[in-house]
Each structure stands twice: as C-alpha cells, then as structure tokens.
Structure 1
Amino acid sequence: MLKQLRPALVMIVAMTAITGLLYPLAMTSVSQAIFPAQANGSVIERDGKIVGSALIGQYFASPGYFHGRPSATTGPDPADPSKSVAQPYNAANSMGSNLGPSNPALIDRIKTDAATLKAENPNAPVPMDLVTTTGSGLDPHITPEAAAFQVPRVAKARNLPEDRVAALVSQHVEGRLFGILGEPRVNVLELNLALDKLAAG
C-alpha cells in the first residue's frame, strides 16, 4: 500500500509546486519584464493619480463627455443588499443583459435610447453600439462613428468648436491590430481625458 501511495503523494507535491508556484512565478516575471503596463492592469494616470484602466469602461453621464456603450452590469442595492440594481461598468460583476432580440424590455430600452440620441443629433443615424450592450458590460471602446455622432453634443456642452472636437476624435482612433485584426475603435476614457486637456486650454 505504501508503495502505491508514495508515488501518488510525490506527484501531488511536485505538480502543486510546478503548476501552483513555479509556473505562475515564471509567467509573472516574464510578463513584468516584457509587458509591464499590461501586466499591471493597463492603468491610465492623470496628474500622478490612477483614473482607470484602458481595458475597463467607465460611466460618463455628463453631456460634456463622450459616452461609452450601454452597460448591463448590476450590483447590490445599498438600501437592500438582497436586491440588485443597475451599476454600469461594475467590474466586480461583469455580465450581459441576457435579453434576447425579441424581448420586449430590450426592444423598449433600445427604442428609448435611440430616440434620446436622435434628439441630440437629428442629422445623423444613431450608431448601433450606442444602444446595444456587450457580453461583459465593460467594453472601454466605441466605434469612430459613435464618437463622431456625439461631437455636436460634447462641443456644445464644452463651448468648443465642433471641428476641434472632431479632430480630437480622429486623433484617438486606434487602428486594426497588425492592420488586419479587429475594427477601428476609440477608447472613451482616453478620449475624455484628452477632451479635459483641450478644454483646459
């Protein structure tokens, strides 16, 4: 019996050490050496303070900021922790709405959001990503079209010329990875930080 237990125990200890300690330490060391910014969360700083991550969206409600995609994430209700309430971009509870395309609640929400956006910019079609959520609810990017759609509202709220705000959007369009993967996109947090800088002067 001991003859059979000994190899099993040795294997458990060895594999625990290799996969639970050595491998994670090696990967952490390599990632810190090669990609330190990404390994530390792709944080974005302003004036020496961490204001967010390039990988996780934030909720901007003010008309003077560009808005990201709608987020369906929830969190505990402060008044009653047994209930959930909407908490957009709650990184502790990544989730989608799980509503199908024929769900009346989803259809009504999209119609309401589209009407609100259309009132802000009646001269342009409402981009799809401004009324639909993602599977994670944390997407930090919008399409260049979605950013351009918001230029008139943001420029008016900031009392800035539309062409300057539009030029700022163009400067923040990220291309396809290696020129072929993904789609052009705009990081909303980085764009809004640049907008603050532009407005400050």
Structure 2
Amino acid sequence: MSATPSATPSATPYVSAGHDGSAHPADGRPGTAPTQAELLDFVRRTAADAELVDSLPLDPEGRTWIRLDGPGGSEAWLIGWPPGTGTGWHDHADSVGAFLTARGELKEHALAARLPTDGWKTLELTEGVDRERRLPAGEGRAFGRHHVHEVLNESSEAHAVSVHAYYPPLPRIRRYSRSGHVLRLEQVESPEDWQ
C-alpha cells in the first residue's frame, strides 16, 4: 500500500511510501535524530491531514496500515483499528516514539517501570506499575526506549485511526503475554516479520 500526502503545509515533513529512504527532517537539519517532541509534533500534524486519514482503507476483520516516512529518517505508520482489536503487550526495543489518535478512541495500558532489555523470559511486576490512558481523537503521547504497552480499540462499533512514528526505525519488536503480575517474553520480531 502507498500513500500520497496532500499538498497542505502541515503534510510537508513526510513523503509517500516507496521513497528512496533518505532522511528529510521536518526541521531541515540533515542527519539529525528527531526528538520525542518532534515525533509527537509530526504525528499530531499528520493526524490533522483529513485527506491522508481518509485514504486509509478500513477492514472490519483486521488492522490496516500505510507506511509513511517520518521526520529525520524515522519510521511512521497510519493504522486503522477495527472494533475490538489491539496490539497485545509489546515494546519497540531501542526506538523512541509517539502516537496519536486521529479518529475514534484508543486505550493504552503501559508499564511505568524500566524493564531489563535482555536476558530474561519471565518477570514478576510489582504493585503500582500499571498505567492506563484513554486517547480520544487528537490525543496522543511520546515514549522512550523499551516502553512496554498495549494499545486497544475497545469500541464495539467504530473504527479508530492513529498515526505512529519511531526513531530509529524499528529494529525489533518484543511481544509479551501477561497473566496478572507476570510478564513473559513470547516472541522477538524483526522488520521483515511485519513489512
């Protein structure tokens, strides 16, 4: 799938999917890694691009997406969420990121604890590490490296659409299962597993 950005000024920091991969930072500084604030600004401006959001095909059976080029060589996605879908618990390894709901409402469950990055299969979480956020249209957040969370569309009727950006482009995603206070590493995915 590819997306062609609209010609509005807010859409200029990204280019269509299939781009040559060279960096084009939103601020014009070649080779400068975008900050979490710049990624959040990018997803906010992209979510406001109604033409782009409307171009995403929605499927009642599963999530859909369009890959975008984010600022400073970051990886970005426009994602459609059918009612009742979610990501499951995961992290984005060494990438920082941001996401924002463009349509509908999403819910995020997150852990407010820094986990060891490698060398474990099962962890017992302490009381008080769980965080929950409701993210209606126009609301989002930035996050740091190794942020463990799950994102859900809990609506029984309405699709949700969101914009996500990560830097560096996702080197891997670790997927977890959760049973009460026990978090278990289930799978490590690399980019070729989801592109």
TM-score by length of 2: 0.25
For the pair shown, which has the larger CA radius of gyration, 1 or 2? Answer: 1
Q: TM-score, normalised by structure 1?
A: 0.24
Higher strand proportion (structure 1 or 2): 2
